[in-house]
Amino acid sequence: MSESPAILNAQNVHKSYRMGATPVVVLKGVDLAVREGEFIAIVGASGSGKSTLLHILGGLDRPDKGVVQFQGRDVNRMTSRELNQYRNETVGFVFQFYHLLDELNVLENVVLPAMISRSVLGWLAARHKARQRGDELLGQLGLRERARHKPYQLSGGERQRVAIGRALMNQPKLLLADEPTGNLDSATGNGILNVLETLNKAGQTIVLVTHDERVARRAQRIITLVDGKVRA
């Protein structure tokens, strides 16, 4: 089997935060290539910079130095419009604490990313298809009976499945997940990992961040962050 090309390439990524006068140096030259169809886990101790790196890969934060390229395009040179599109359509995010909107029901939460990128008229034209896609995702995620529920009426595992549906809504080329099982008991967490595994088998490229070695072992490749770098 020939190796698929890298869709995401991070080279020599540096990042510090300033806490008053003292800089906190987090990333000191991270190199990482993600190939199409891969399922990668990034592990490292708490505070090692895993979330920082994931945010940089997803265009939510910028490196101080270094380059992040997605399919050959430099993420840090995108216009704000291109960057919005990158965050909304090219990548999908899943977070530890779900970040669902309690005012919206499950289906509306899932469909939201399709709405955000459109004008009112654009949305009127697209919403029927978008709802169909949302409904299909809810079916895949075993949530069809929950479509009209509000997030606060759901269990943690169900909420995370809604968040995964939302992340998949715009058919992202890359799914980024930051401790997606961190708030769940191990059986429920396993269910979420099964969902990710199934998605990956269907071709979805995934980068998952976790401090838990057992979670990381579900990925095809494990990358360890130590002292601000990828351990060789």
Ligand X SMILES: Nc1ncnc2c1ncn2[C@@H]1O[C@H](COP(=O)(O)OP(=O)(O)OP(=O)(O)O)[C@@H](O)[C@H]1O
Which partner, ligand X, Mg ion, none, binds residue 166 by CB below 5 to 8 Å per kind?
Answer: none
Rounded-to-integer distance, Cα 79 and Cα 63, Å: 16
- Based on CB atoms, which residue is closest to Mg ion, 28 or 35? 28
48 near ligand X, rule: CB under 6 A: yes
Q: Which stretch binds Mg ion (CB under 5 A): 37-45, 51-59, 105-113, 146-154?
A: 51-59
26 near ligand X, rule: CB under 6 A: yes
Q: 117-126 burial string, b = 16+ CB within 10 Å, else e?
A: eeeeeeeeeb
Give the residue from 226, 216, 186, 231 showing the smallest Cα distance to 42: 216
Which partner, Mg ion, ligand X, none, binds residue 125 by CB below 5 to 8 Å per kind?
Answer: none
Non-local CB neighbours of 80 within 8 Å, separated by 6+ positions: none
- Based on CB atoms, which residue is closest to ligand X, 1 or 19? 19
Q: Quote the tokens at residue 34.
A: 């993600």
Name the DSSP class of 77. Answer: G
226 near ligand X, rule: CB under 6 A: no
In whole angstroms, the minimum distance from the beta carbon of 177 to ligand X comes to: 12
Burial class for 204, CB neighbours closer than 10 Å (0-12, 13-18, 19+) = buried
50 near ligand X, rule: CB under 6 A: yes
In whole angstroms, the minimum distance from the beta carbon of 208 to ligand X comes to: 12
52 near Mg ion, rule: CB under 5 A: no
Rounded-to-integer distance, Cα 196 and Cα 99, Å: 18
Site residues (vs ligand X, CB under 6 A): 17, 19, 24, 26, 44, 46-52, 211
Site residues (vs Mg ion, CB under 5 A): 51
